[in-house]
A and B are shown apart, each in its own frame.
Chain A
């Protein structure tokens, strides 16, 4: 039976309802408000139950804590106020079809003192007035954080517990003072970031059991397994699942009761009816199996709020919603209780709910890495576990809802399997990119599935992948991939190799890693590559060791019973996700500065070792001078006709790119994580390529001090004039060494005057990039900004005119106005292609 029955795949007749338009308007007007509800309740419970005196906290203890919070948090059915940029409050007409919210606010900032929440402490007085992305915080809440929350976590945040764990290991090799070298490297920021200090679960839950059995069914199963459990630890874990489910059910029932109370007081008949409908639904789900599309959406939404109570909002993703909800959708449409129009309204309301919170980012972080949302990815399309076309009507309905809403969160990702999925579907995806300017990102099923099976997943598991956070593929609801565990600045590896274990940023004469040879000592490029590999191995060892220590810390004090109950694996294994309860247990690293390092290596090979135009020490002297007085050399290093550049199908540069990606895959792939899984490597950078670039000195590829690095796996801006060659170079990298996902950013000039022709070319460019005939499985992922250079330039000057200008950063979507100036400039300067010509468009730089 065909799953696509829609006559118009674009659903052009569908518009946003008045309800959604009003909500959306309030959403864009509102600034985020810091929410104290969770930290106050969590801290109070922790104090009352002696958590701060314990070395280990069990899953059952954590489950009881979350049940307490879920039972005692204020059930907000509809919000009546929000705060605008002037920090004055305004009335909100909230008639959402879903009750509840992630925080107690219309748009909130959840605080996790267990992780990095205390970084906000110095800002409590001025966070409302900071330059970048201010948050509202009222005086009572500031006082509560200062007196009732933060003081108790001073010695108990994850990073601090981990630091103590590492420092207690004697001796602390290589570290400054009492801290180990791993902690020092993290604190110096220029080498790598370890996200476990700020995040625990970067994955996709399994909603299918909650939809099919209801949470009561999951709890019953856990209770049964607990009775048959072999040991006390397993019995405790199953009891924790029961507690966690009880907490979520209580929250939903509290919402239902509040809706009934409001209905009783309502004078408007429509409002009363809507509240009663909400009450009836929340009384039933998520406790019992969902019977309708709306009940299904409510089940997912309520579970989602509970998951975010436990897990910081760092890239938790919703997965293949068009698959897990299709049966309910189809049944309702067939029986006539649901129309496409109603489905879009429900999805639009849900999308706004999903985006009702932003991550807590301190001012320092905003300046370097800011502008990110919570990066909650939704995946649509592709093939099913058996390899059949899984694009359905709901896929198109979700795409239309996304097109109409144009929100940063959720972040829509579309899968495409050439030859299985229809070309009309691909054309529609390209059309939405043109209309929204930035979404959805497109993933090549053939390449992604090949990458995942190469890492040991079964074909069925690999086919059922969803996208996590930015672009990372993970088997839906069963892969606890921790895909953003390490963000490694690869240019620092190059720096250590060039400067014999030292880094200009931390000071010459200060040995960071190990001596691998003075610049003058390298007799061949092979010698230099060997030094580079040794430095890379050293860095990978340090980064994975720190991740290991942080993971063990999570095991000691932060089990995750809520998410574990909504995941494939923990029920069967009888253990929490952080102890390896999931079916798949990998960890992921992402590499920052890939193209800059490839081009730098190519420049060194060409200029120093092949042409012998200058010695390596001379090149380093030029870099130290930031190319001042060496403009001819700078021009030569930037010229793709004179120096090999990745992205031009240059045999030299592309061979280096392949060598580098393979080397990193081997180095990371040899490491085992604390859950007995293996590491995977990806190339997506969020805004870190701008942040790290700002901190880094000149590089051999002709990049000056402080300039941005290049995003994701994208070739360096301005050196790849041919679109076809740029696509070909990136596609030539085998996906099996890119298994943690890639972000390939391409900017196209929109051509609304010749829409059909542009869409033809758009589709052809994607098909060419995904084409497997190049010897591999084709390019893995591609994402677009389809906005003119002039629009971006104007948006910098007049941000008030572009509140909804959506951009792809490197993986996720963001509002252009929220990005820091350096990141805005990076997007402006990205190579822009005219699809008609297949060539880069010339524009004045730094305009």
Chain B
């Protein structure tokens, strides 16, 4: 299924100009916009990572962020449930929902709004999230900075937020 999806995205990115390809997935990006604006917050992780994965196929400029980047993120809720795993390697991004031990960084968050605040809010909220124990980080903090940039870069390119 994953392979078919990738093939489909790849073909689209070859066949269609970037602007048209983005229009084709307008609903997905509208969901992202609503998640960023505070609606659809419960599905924030899923929507964000899905949009990111798709955007790497469709947007050449955004894809440059993957060049030489290898790392894996484990996102989990404070009850230990895995929300998502995001794996970056060989110019690709892959999202799954499995636990794995060799993460670059594990981000544990109280709930979806907490993760949204952590990654997206301006000014003090990253720190406030850590201090309020809304979010804890285990591993390499630099990868969190990179993920923060990827999220904001995506919004910047899509004119979201």
Contact = CB atoms under 8 A, between A and B. Distances in A.
Contact of A154 (B67, B137, B146, B148): B146
A190 B149 contact: no
Contact of B131 (A125, A126, A159, A505): A505
Interface in B29-71: 64-65, 67-69, 71
B17 interface: no
A187 B130 CA distance: 8
Interface residues of B, number: 31
A672 B67 CA distance: 44
Contacts of B153: 124-125, 146
A412 B67 CA distance: 48
Nearest to B119: A122
Contact of B156 (A125, A190, A506): A125
A365 B130 CA distance: 13
B138 A126 contact: no
Interface centre among B65, B124, B139, B148 (most CB of A within 10 A): B124
Interface stretch (A171-179, A215-223, A391-399, A541-549): A171-179
A454 to B, nearest CB: 38
Contacts of A363: 122-124
B31 to A, nearest CB: 21
A598 to B, nearest CB: 25
Interface in B120-161: 122-124, 126-127, 130-131, 133, 136-143, 145-146, 148-149, 151-153, 156
Contact of B149 (A124, A153, A507): A124
Contacts, number: 93
B149 A189 contact: no
Contacts of A163: 140
Contacts of B106: 177
Contact of A506 (B122, B126, B133): B133
Given A126-B122, A363-B123, A160 B140 contact: yes
Interface in A155-189: 155, 157, 159-160, 163, 176-179, 187-189
A507 B78 CA distance: 13
Interface residues of A, number: 41
Contact of A179 (B71, B123, B138): B138
Given A131-B122, A363-B124, A147 B138 contact: no
Contacts of B143: 154
B127 A118 contact: no
A154 B71 contact: yes
B156 to A, nearest CB: 5
A121 interface: yes
Contacts of A187: 130, 136-137, 141
A125 B136 CA distance: 25
B142 A157 contact: yes
A368 B127 contact: yes
A695 B131 contact: yes
Nearest to A145: B149
A367 B124 contact: yes
Contacts of A93: none
Nearest to B125: A364
Contacts of A27: none
A119 B133 contact: no
A368 B106 CA distance: 25
A149 to B, nearest CB: 12
A176 B138 CA distance: 7
B145 A367 contact: no
A651 interface: no
B123 A189 contact: no
Contacts of B69: 151
23 contacts: A118-B145, A118-B146, A122-B149, A122-B152, A126-B122, A132-B123, A146-B65, A146-B149, A147-B64, A151-B68, A154-B71, A159-B141, A160-B141, A177-B106, A178-B138, A179-B138, A187-B130, A188-B131, A190-B131, A366-B123, A368-B124, A368-B127, A695-B131
Smallest CB-CB A-B distances: 4 pairs? A122-B148, A177-B138, A367-B124, A364-B127
